[in-house]
A and B are shown apart, each in its own frame.
Chain A
């Protein structure tokens, strides 16, 4: 068994986590001196108070004892008490995580003491350890080895438990945190890959057929796509573009520049008051595996890098983040592809796809109806979902290897042309964000506090930019319901240009699940468009801008402070690199 050592490693990894949590809690609890405690209160678990630290400590102890003494009940007589102990520990870890999670909302993000993120992280790590015990991915005696019916559920649960921690809590904690989780997921991936291959060899197809159809499909995808040489499923995302806006003032284009040439471009602007202007760098991503050997335009490849689509990703639901009804939701990458991105693209790898496309010519259309397997009656059209501004590559390091940080991000760009307050402390390294969505995603007109290289990998995007000198004409928002929105304009370009209908007030898609919707408060003022006079609209149309349609392989330089409106035309995957 090739995975035996990985299984043993994962087992050990879990024991070590449980004993480390227990030891760390014990240390905090023994620090009775209130003065000492006060000084470390925001940094370590101590800030969560003795009640919660004590409760976590007891659960860590239970996990440790289960691992060390009897990972599984040995005789039938032991099952009830073992199960009771196991279930209660699992419940208490959920309690701890939910208490910590409530603090994520109660505090402003920048004020949230790290202790709550660590408490959440440690509770989730311990939960992972418990769930792992019931999975086939752990070293165990041959005795109770047998085909386990709950295998797929277990894997979903294991991956979800750690992904929630990465996404919601940023996997905090010095001793375990992200490092522990990345290692656990990597070991689990190796074991699971080997197991699923083994199953196929052993004629596991019969077993596959017994599984619920939906799950079996994804297991199927994996076993295909992970054997890389057997790339039968090389279907690519649909290139369909329901609507293509006209380009009016095309941005200057250039072949890829050297780092020196780019520095010169920034240093010698046409207008010294304005600073460097936007520039399209054609064919700038030629070295990227994401555009060649590890093709991001193939759903099967992306699925292979996400535990067969099991990894969770945060998506924005709704047309634009300033619309009423907008919210964020965590869903699996597989569901995101299947339900929102492009159901047809999975035809090659999925046996049972039968999508019904809403093709009534509506410009902002492309609101997929869910595939038939889910639709009993006539469900309402699905809203747009957008994986936007997510640090996907911190969460999925393997995808990070498919892209390269452009050399341009190692230049010294100029300060903000008009407002030095916007400039941020120098970043150690560029900030990477992923932007992946179906046709029709919209980032409303806004500006960012960094210079940006927007790299287009899959599909096409329309981008329109207004210079920082036009800021006074762009109706910047203010503070809305306690959230600073000053970098976002009230102008809805799509509506003003007649590409979109004005968004109708819609019911918010509520979701009280953890990591569910993080909807914004209703914006009572709404967008300015509804109340804009003809005159005002005319004035807006007179504001100068530049625009472009990015093709795969293009990189767009967006200088700091430039207002930009971004619209996905087809299925589109971009990566932004912020730097200063």
Chain B
């Protein structure tokens, strides 16, 4: 907490796909012009409190001191009664329409299609306790428990995204532990992120691991494979991380944000078309970066003033 009377303002910077004005919080322009993408990180919101709660293809939801603020086109999932769960990462919708919901009693329920949650094709996975994050990628799910265990399940055709052996006793389509992420030198996994065909996991000791890849697409990281491998971001320790469909963004313990991957919609916030090397994002030295987040084709950086307003 800041001392009484001193307010350290926070800021949200955004870059990338903006076809639905999902990066615009400030001026609700009544323009009929089509919105263009944002190619370089732009300040889109300032407030005493900023937490990016949800960033999908077309929609962004940010928690502020004035409550939740929306930008873009509200998703089906948000509209269909899964809002709480999606915002708290206890439910997720995969690119193939499957929905998984964690119900606090150690049970994950999976439905075949969204938006209607029918009984048809419903699967129940019991015995998975203390899930703190349940996320989806294009063809499956990944879940993290409080004690640092990571489960994956999904379409076996993209087995690299599972990051584990697929066996008869541990099939692709039900949650299986990613054993490579246990007993890591820098502590347990404390955060995961997933999108497209890439999954990343961050340890308490600031090491970043990644796995996945699509058999016919260039991977975001050259080193990406079918089991977790440490990610080297110019030899930095990593404080925060997020992944989009074809790009990644991280925050180092030194306070710098780096991006890598495709830049088709300006999601890297850089002029280049794509990058296979991590590139540092230049931002104002008067602000400290406190968090990063990727949408499917966008990036967000949350900063805090280093001096009171």
Task: Identify the A interface with B (CB < 8 A).
Answer: 34, 38, 41, 49-52, 54-55, 58, 62, 85, 88-89, 91-92, 95, 98-99, 102-103, 105-108, 111, 113, 327, 481-483, 508, 510-512, 516-521
Contacts and interface: CB of A to CB of B under 8 A. Distances in A.
A239 B8 CA distance: 79
A516 B216 contact: yes
Contacts of A54: 20, 73
Interface in B120-171: 138-139, 155-159
A108 B94 CA distance: 13
B39 to A, nearest CB: 12
A388 to B, nearest CB: 17
Which 4 residue pairs of A and B lie closest in terms of their CB atoms, listed nearest first?
A482-B156, A51-B73, A51-B58, A482-B157
A481 B58 CA distance: 32
B182 interface: no
Contacts of A89: 34
B94 A510 contact: no
Contacts of A58: 34
Contacts of B156: 481-482
B96 interface: yes
Contact of A49 (B75, B95, B297): B75
Interface in B32-85: 34, 36-37, 57-59, 72-73, 75-76, 80
B116 A41 contact: yes
A38 B118 CA distance: 11
Given A102-B245, A482-B156, 16 more contacts: A41-B115, A49-B76, A51-B57, A54-B73, A62-B34, A85-B34, A89-B34, A99-B57, A105-B139, A106-B139, A107-B97, A327-B216, A481-B157, A511-B216, A520-B215, A521-B215
A116 to B, nearest CB: 10
B76 A103 contact: no
B265 interface: yes
Contacts of A102: 95, 138, 196, 245
Given A107-B96, A482-B156, A519 B215 contact: yes
Interface residues of B, number: 38
B36 A106 contact: no
Nearest to B32: A58
Contacts of B20: 51, 54-55
Contacts of A508: 215
Contact of A510 (B73, B196, B218, B297): B218
B155 A482 contact: yes
Contact of A518 (B36, B172, B216): B216
B75 A51 contact: yes
Contact of B218 (A62, A85, A482, A512): A512
Contacts of B218: 510, 512
A81 B265 CA distance: 20
Interface string B248-286: 000000000000000011000000000000000000000
A481 B158 CA distance: 8
B172 A38 contact: no
A9 B266 CA distance: 38
Contact of B95 (A51, A106, A517): A106
Contacts of A50: 73, 76
B182 to A, nearest CB: 24
22 contacts: A41-B116, A49-B76, A50-B76, A62-B34, A88-B36, A92-B34, A95-B265, A98-B264, A102-B95, A105-B139, A105-B214, A106-B95, A106-B138, A481-B156, A482-B156, A482-B159, A508-B215, A511-B216, A512-B216, A516-B216, A521-B157, A521-B215
Contacts of B95: 102-103, 106
Contacts of A517: 216
B19 interface: yes
Contacts of B76: 49-50
Nearest to B35: A88
Nearest to B159: A481
B213 to A, nearest CB: 10
Contacts of A91: 37
Contacts of A49: 75-76
B157 A38 contact: no
A106 B157 CA distance: 10
B59 A51 contact: yes
Nearest to B112: A111
A327 B217 CA distance: 12
Contacts of A111: 96
Contacts of B233: none
Contacts of A103: 95-96
A38 B76 CA distance: 12
A482 B95 CA distance: 18
Contact of A95 (B17, B72, B73): B17
Contacts of A108: 155, 157
Nearest to A55: B19
A482 B172 contact: yes
Nearest to B33: A85
A542 to B, nearest CB: 33
B59 A88 contact: no
A511 B80 CA distance: 38
Contacts of B158: 482
A291 to B, nearest CB: 37
A38 B116 contact: yes
A103 B215 CA distance: 15
Interface string B92-128: 0011110000000000000000011000000000000
Contacts of A92: 19, 34
A106 B96 contact: yes
Contact of B216 (A51, A55, A107, A510): A510
Contacts of A327: 216
A111 B156 CA distance: 15
Contacts of B17: 95
B94 A106 contact: yes
A109 B7 CA distance: 54
A460 B117 CA distance: 55
A34 B172 CA distance: 33
A511 B158 CA distance: 17
Nearest to B56: A51
A273 B265 CA distance: 62
B116 A519 contact: no
A518 B214 CA distance: 10
Nearest to B34: A88
Contacts of B116: 38, 41
Nearest to B265: A95
A33 to B, nearest CB: 13
